[in-house]
């Protein structure tokens, strides 16, 4: 029986090894990655795939557990050496033989060692919560219209990945001998004979931490935290209103003393400007937005406004063409507004996917501005004058008399 059990293990272990994902690939690392790079990769990915941030997502939960397992293997010199030489199969045999790493550690315990608290995001009884961070991201109108997934980088306070927030280079942290771990000292001052005053102050020996280290971390110099850039992905949804505030839970400043607060990103609209790429040079770049509607000013000459017989193409934000035109004899009044349904902004709906295919759009409002000529050649002026006089007399239109106002001086009425 023992023989068959051993044989079965020999067949099962290679099968497991073939199915397991490479730990370096899982963490997005090269095989010569340093301990600091391994810790930083774990810190970033564990937050991204934490089950609290991906509720009811079994794939994220599995990924979270796998990331924790990969970190625990690669951060220990012995197991990393075995993994580098023999892969998953060698690691499995090492575990089967009673090696130190058994691969069954609670991933939430590991997470709590990095970030403090209970190993979960959110509010928990007795946990201190860090401050909320705010940032502003400016995006062009095109991105509000088409939607875009963009990355942005913000500098924040992060727990030192080199010492895991202990402040100690060797991991040894002692209780402060001055304040006995309380973080504060109580001193008595004599105000007068027999009269004393007690004053509580922050312990200057440990800075209020209650703990001291003899070998400070070479990266954070004992501060336990560092300032470093962190990259996030912002999903600009189609039709999202400018000024919307997007919350990244627990992505604020970190500290071993509190659960990280939220990062709130205020999304605003950039002033219009022509970009360098072809798709950034559309007429729509200079649309103006009001709610779900877009606005555009189109300039016409006197001949076009009066006589018609013209056609214009407006290149929209996504490159499609909106055609404006008037047939001959169709007059356009100055400051007239043409409303084109379905050519405005996508109507934002948080409850509907952008890719559902049933988007609704606002209207495009085109205002027509008529430009009159500054001067006319004498021959043209004479021809126009005679034409106006002919049609004024024929149609018997007298705007001055019709207005009911008294004549201040002789004038020539126009049509």
Same domain membership, residue 23 and residue 92 = yes
β-bridge pairing 244-248 and 263-269 = antiparallel
3-state class percentages of the chain: helix first, strand second, coil last, to nearest 5: 30, 30, 40
pLDDT in tens, 160-213: 888 888 888 887 888 888 887 777 777 777 777 777 777 788 887 777 777 888
Same domain membership, residue 396 and residue 291 = no
Task: Read off the pLDDT band of 89 (50, 70, 90).
Answer: confident
Same domain membership, residue 356 and residue 291 = yes
Whether 34 maps to a domain, the answer reads: yes
Whether 305 maps to a domain, the answer reads: yes
* For residue 41, pLDDT beyond 70: yes
pLDDT in tens, 5-17: 444 344 444 444 4
Domain CATH number, residue 43: 1.10.287.110
Domain CATH number, residue 304: 2.60.260.20
Whole-number pLDDT of residue 347: 94
Whether 70 maps to a domain, the answer reads: yes
Q: Of 382, 345, 380, 386, whose CA–CA distance to 362 is shortest?
A: 345
Same domain membership, residue 363 and residue 306 = yes
Domain of 361? 279-371
Q: What is the DSSP string of 24-83?
A: HHHHT--TT--HHHHHHHHHHHHHHT-TTTSTT-HHHHHHHHHHHHHHHHHHSHHHHHHH
* For residue 99, pLDDT beyond 70: no
How would you class 349 by CB atoms within 10 Å of its CB: exposed for 0-12, middle for 13-18, buried for 19 or more? Answer: middle
CA 391 and chain centroid, separation: 64
Whether 162 maps to a domain, the answer reads: no
Mean pLDDT of 52-76: 88
Six-digit token pair at 327? Answer: 């047939």
Same domain membership, residue 100 and residue 25 = yes
Higher pLDDT, 98 or 225: 225
The mean pLDDT value of the chain amounts to 82
Whole-number pLDDT of residue 238: 94
Whole-number pLDDT of residue 356: 52
Answer with the one of 59, 90, 115 that is the final residue of a domain. 115
CA distance linking residue 104 with residue 330, whole number of Å: 80
* For residue 412, pLDDT beyond 60: no
* For residue 227, pLDDT beyond 50: yes
SS3 272: coil
Mean pLDDT of 223-243: 92
pLDDT in tens, 345-366: 999 976 644 455 578 999 999 9
Phi-psi region of 357 (alpha: psi -120 to 50; beta: other; left: phi over 0): left
CA distance linking residue 100 with residue 94, whole number of Å: 8
Whether 40 maps to a domain, the answer reads: yes
Whole-number pLDDT of residue 388: 81
pTM of the model: 0.70
Same domain membership, residue 392 and residue 345 = no
Higher pLDDT, 260 or 193: 260
């Amino acid at each position: 029986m023992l023989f068959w059990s051993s044989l079965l293990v020999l067949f099962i272990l290679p099968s497991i090894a073939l199915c397991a994902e490479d730990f370096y690939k899982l963490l997005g690392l090269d095989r010569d990655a340093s301990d600091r790079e391994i810790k930083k990769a774990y810190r970033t990915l564990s937050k991204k795939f934490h089950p609290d941030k991906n509720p009811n997502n079994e794939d994220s939960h599995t990924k979270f557990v796998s990331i924790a397992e990969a970190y625990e293997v690669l951060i220990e010199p012995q197991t990393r050496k075995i993994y580098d030489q023999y892969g998953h199969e060698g690691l499995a045999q090492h575990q089967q033989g009673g090696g130190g790493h058994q691969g069954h550690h609670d991933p939430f315990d590991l997470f709590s060692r990095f970030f403090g608290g209970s190993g979960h995001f959110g509010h928990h009884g007795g946990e201190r919560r860090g401050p909320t961070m705010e940032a502003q991201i400016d995006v062009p109108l095109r991105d509000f219209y088409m939607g875009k997934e963009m990355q942005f980088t913000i500098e924040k306070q992060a727990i030192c990945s080199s010492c895991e927030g202990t402040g100690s280079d060797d991991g040894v942290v002692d209780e402060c001998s001055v304040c006995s771990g309380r973080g504060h000292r109580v001193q008595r001052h004599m105000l007068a004979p027999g009269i004393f005053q007690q004053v509580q102050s922050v312990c200057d020996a440990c800075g209020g931490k209650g703990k001291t280290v003899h070998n400070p971390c070479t990266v954070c110099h004992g501060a336990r935290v560092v300032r470093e850039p962190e990259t996030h992905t912002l999903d600009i949804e189609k039709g999202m209103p400018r000024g919307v505030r997007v919350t990244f839970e627990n992505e604020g400043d970190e500290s071993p003393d509190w659960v990280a607060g939220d990062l709130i990103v205020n999304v605003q609209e950039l002033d219009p400007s022509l970009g360098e790429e072809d798709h950034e040079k559309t007429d729509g770049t200079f649309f103006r937005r009001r709610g779900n509607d877009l606005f555009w000013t189109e300039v016409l000459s006197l001949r076009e406004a009066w006589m018609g017989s013209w056609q214009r193409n407006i290149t929209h934000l996504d490159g499609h063409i909106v055609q404006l035109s008037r047939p001959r004899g169709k007059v356009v009044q100055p400051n007239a507004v043409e409303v084109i349904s379905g050519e405005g902004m996508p109507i934002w709906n948080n409850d509907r996917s952008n890719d559902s295919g049933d988007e609704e759009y606002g209207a495009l409002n085109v205002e027509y501005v008529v430009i009159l000529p500054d001067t006319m050649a004498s021959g043209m002026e004479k021809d126009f004058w005679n034409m106006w006089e002919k049609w004024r007399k024929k149609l018997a239109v007298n705007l001055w008399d019709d207005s009911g106002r008294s004549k201040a001086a002789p004038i020539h009425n126009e049509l």
